[in-house]
Amino acid sequence: MKPKLSFKYIKQQLKYVDRVYWVIFALLIAVAVLALFSASSTLAFAGENTLSPIFDQAIFLVGGILLAFVIQFIPSHYIRWAGYIGLGLSILFLLLTYTGLGVRINGATRWLNIGGIVFQPSELAKITLIIVVSDLLSRIKKDEDHKFYFKRVMIITGVVCVLILFNNLSTTLLLGGIVFILFFLARVKIKYWGTVLLIAIGSLFIGYLFVKHVYVVPGKQIESKILGRAVTWVNRVDNMIDEWNAPAEQKFSLEDDYQRTLAKVAIAHGGATPLGVLPGNSTERDFLPQAFADYIFAIIVEESGLIGAALLMMLYLAILFRSCIISSRYSDYSAMLMVMGLALMLTCQALLSMMVSVGIGPVTGQPLPLISRGGTSVLVTCLYFGIIMCVAREQKELRERRQINISEGEKNVPKINLDDFNDSTSLSSTTEESDMQPLVVNAEHTSNEDVPTITFDD
């Protein structure tokens, strides 16, 4: 009988909840509240109510907590079914971003406006694609299955990545990288995914050269709605390379890259002491335009120092380590791949966002999961946690049931007292000894005459 999601069922399942994940989840939410309270000063100054940005984000955080709490009690096979439906809706929403329903913000049409609700379809596409890919790869049982399911995964992944590509290259690369890692974890033959990986890397290099030397004519840019973001991508890569090769006195230029320079100033300000300038005392938050979104990690470093930054990195890495432990104990291959894919997405996205803030990588626009401001990002990140905690709960429940079955089986096995067994055998041997008669062999049957002889002819 399939379990029903009721208050009685949830109460019974509370003992199987993964407390470690909830501690990580709660700590990240606490960091999000503190960071947004400081980093949203520009939004508070621009609005009529200074607390409005905090309240708006708090609503999404509370909704996300409730969503994660409910999702963790839904059986994981229902989540896999919902993944296919969600992926179909994601593809539809991504197509609608190229119509009049698409909302253009900061030069990119990544948002969709339906009925006054503005959200990012790419966030939904990321989580649903990982769920579907994990389910398909888990069905590989025989050698001939590798090619069959590899083709289907590549077709689905290709469609989603192409739709995201023209407005968000970083999300496309991140999502494609996670899918290739899932190929490795699912032990797909390297001759399949290795070839595609080389083609993808080569295509990126050729695309970079095309945009830099053909698409953009010196002094005149070719107008194109589809490749409108290509120039921005190339410029970001060129700026990063120029920054690496520039002398020390030219690495901080407000004219060339205003946000990256202010982010570095904030990090340098906070790194002067182990604990930074303490929460609420940031100075760069009032000048950094995206302090509450893409560069919120710089504000965290400024206010909490290197210790705070290291602890935050450890929280994101703890998500991946805990997921590895859960996956190694679970017999459901599809759930294992799903947990690893979701955990890798959260951890890699967090590290990528941190790298941009400290100036290691090019600007990507990737939010810091659960901390950067944004309703869609927060809700989907909470959905990540809910699904991972769902598998953790099932794994813990299954392990306890196995232990109960083993203990009950040991109780049903009859116990044998060796002392009683030895006493009974010795008693029976003494009572039957007097009744035993000597064995008499009839000599007639032992004569050589009755023994048949066998001869072999030459």
Ranges of residues in the chain whose predicted pLDDT is under 70: 1-5, 41-53, 214-228, 246-257, 407-458
**What pLDDT was estimated at residue 43?**
59
**What pLDDT was estimated at residue 84?**
95
Residue type, 242: D
**What pLDDT was estimated at residue 49?**
59
**What pLDDT was estimated at residue 348?**
94
- For 362, phi then psi, to 5°, come to -70, 160
- 430 domain residue, yes or no: no
- 416 domain residue, yes or no: no
pTM: 0.82
Extract the tokens encoding 176. 């494609």
- 151 domain residue, yes or no: yes
Name the CA radius of gyration of the chain, rounded: 33
Roughly what angle, to the nearest 10 degrees, separates helices 121-137 and 333-358? 140
Q: What angle do CA 392, 377, 271 make, to 5 degrees?
A: 95
- 41 domain residue, yes or no: yes
- 444 domain residue, yes or no: no
- 79 domain residue, yes or no: yes
DSSP label at 6? Answer: S
pLDDT, tens only, 74-128: 988 899 999 999 999 999 999 999 888 888 877 778 888 888 888 899 999 999 9
Rounded CA-CA distance 54/31 in Å is: 13
**What pLDDT was estimated at residue 1?**
47
- 67 domain residue, yes or no: yes
150: left (phi over 0), alpha (psi -120 to 50) or beta: alpha
**What pLDDT was estimated at residue 141?**
86
Bridge partners (DSSP) of residue 111 are 103
- 431 domain residue, yes or no: no
Count of structural domains, the chain: 1
Rounded CA-CA distance 39/340 in Å is: 32
- For 452, phi then psi, to 5°, come to -70, 145
What stretch of H or E contains 341? helix 333-358
Rounded CA-CA distance 247/13 in Å is: 60
**What pLDDT was estimated at residue 121?**
92
Strands (E), 133-280: 216-217, 220-221
Domain housing 277? 7-406
Extract the tokens encoding 217. 């004519």
